[in-house]
Amino acid sequence: MSTENEAGQVPAAPESGAESVAPERGELSKAALPAEPAAPAAPPVPPAEPPTAVLPAVPPATDGIPAPASYREVAASYSEAAADPYATPAADPYAAPAADPYAPPAPVLTAAPGQPQPDPSQAHAQQPYQGAPQTAQFPQYAGAVPQPGQPGGPGGPVWGAHVPVPPPAERKPRGMGSMVAAVLVAALVAGGVGGGVGYWAARHEDNSNSTTVSSSSDPKVLDRAPNSVAGIAAKALPSVVTIEASGGSESGTGTGFVFDKQGHILTNNHVVAPAADGGKLTATFSNGKKYDAEVVGRAQGYDVAVIKLKNAGDAKLDPIPLGDSDSTKVGDATIAIGAPFGLSGTVTTGIVSAMHRPVASSDGQGASASYMSAIQTDASINPGNSGGPLLNANGAVIGINSAIQSAGGGGGDGQTQAGSVGLGFAIPINQAKRVATNLIATGQPVYPVIGVSLDTQYRGEGAKVTENGNSGNPAVVPGGPGDKAGLKAGDIITKFDDTVIDSGQTLIGAIWQRQPGDKVTVTYTRGGKTSTATLTLGKRDGDEKN
């Protein structure tokens, strides 16, 4: 499809043999008409010939008044009346030169197939040289000037000339070519309109009627609300520390936060484990101040630890408020603060994705696993976030960030983990607070127990009591809470109060959410029969020795 503008093409010459009517030309007298100004110079055309004069159209007859003769006829009549009969007639500057009888015949012009044959007499008038597009030149008269599109005007027919009817365009089958062309044109037009509107709007912009609002530079206006993420982070960050622990061949970095005004810092056990046996332990605040620290107590099963700052009399200790993890609901907003990959003071946000998620994690160094009934969040948690606070929308701590599930599988927060995939787990703060209080008071954790050993190889529904016990321990401890409730070896526990038990990990996590002395209802099956029993939780002091 041609991209030329059809309005700018030169009209085809009349076919050979078609009648061409030229205006009559009389002899013009210099006395009869005023001299005409010279026509503007036209672009050179080979061969050079005088241009054909184009005169204004004669007005049509109106109100019964006959139409006057052509301008040339009127001029000729005046000229004949005033001319000297003995004078030589004046030459008509617009007359065509006399034909030379000895001149060779005019060259034959051929048009493209399907187009009318050009008139040789119009060879130069209708076939401009291949140069810049020509513009028709019109002599200036005192009368009306031809307007574009009118007879005698640009784009209009020549006065007195026969206008040929163009041959019908060859119909071509519609296909993808025309469809593509139409799409391209539409796109260009749309772009042009959009650009034009944008340019017009830019040129005609009136700032006095603008509805935009500029940001204020007033610091008071930029103050964030206390319950915004920025407000919560600004308040909590000074109470979050980056912990570095090293001892022997092990070292690591984690996070902790101020638990009380006495300088106790709450964190994960696996964060401080490398320095637990005489290693070096430091805590650095967001203002850059670093303090040596010591381990007060740690609970491997809960993955909770408490450390205390040394010589921290000048430290500004503002404990972060503790929330109520039991009232936390799925969908609540969360804010995690920590030092992922050593990047201290990193703040990420998300929501509570799930509650009471059973998680068993390990530090990867061969230590016994930790169990938790965790708060799951999609806030970004990475290696180094361990021990940091998980806050709610009020800025209160609802959990301690402890473990992640990476794309490669496995849990924990060891340095071998790939990073966050939106599956982070935090120890509920109600449990962590109780454990920390015991650690500060006695240096030892206290665990609630039911007095039975579980079969870790069992893959069915529920948690199965072993048939023969584990590590020399009986399946059911004689006189223990389970024995008193009537549990026996091989029983399968399916429910612990309102928590459905689908594995041994889920049962341990549910038990450790309680305190020694709590009464619970246990549902179990034996020989295909389901029974329930009331059980009072016992206790165990300290972690089990491997």
Rounded Cα distance, 47 and 51, in Å? 12
Q: Are strands 370-377 and 538-541 parallel, antiparallel or unpaired?
A: unpaired
Q: Is the peptide bond before 34 cis (omega within 30 degrees of 0)?
A: no
- Kindly state the helix (H) or strand (E) to which residue 178 belongs, with its residue range: helix 176-203
* DSSP class per residue in 355-408: EEEEEEE--SSSPPPEEEEEEEE-S---TT-TT-EEE-TTS-EEEEEEEE--TT
Which residues touch 53 (CB under 8 Å, ≥6 apart)? 94, 139
Annotated catalytic residue 453: no
Rounded Cα distance, 225 and 367, in Å? 44
Single out the catalytic residue among 119, 270, 332, 491.
270
Annotated catalytic residue 497: no
CB atoms near residue 298 (< 10 Å) = 25
Rounded Cα distance, 265 and 282, in Å? 11
Closest CA to 386 of 351, 362, 355: 362
Annotated catalytic residue 218: no
Bridge partners (DSSP) listed for residue 290: 284
Closest CA to 282 of 311, 237, 244: 244
- Kindly state the helix (H) or strand (E) to which residue 535 belongs, with its residue range: strand 529-536
Which residue type sits at 94?
Answer: Y
Single out the catalytic residue among 325, 386, 420, 453.
386
Catalytic annotation, residues: 270, 303, 386
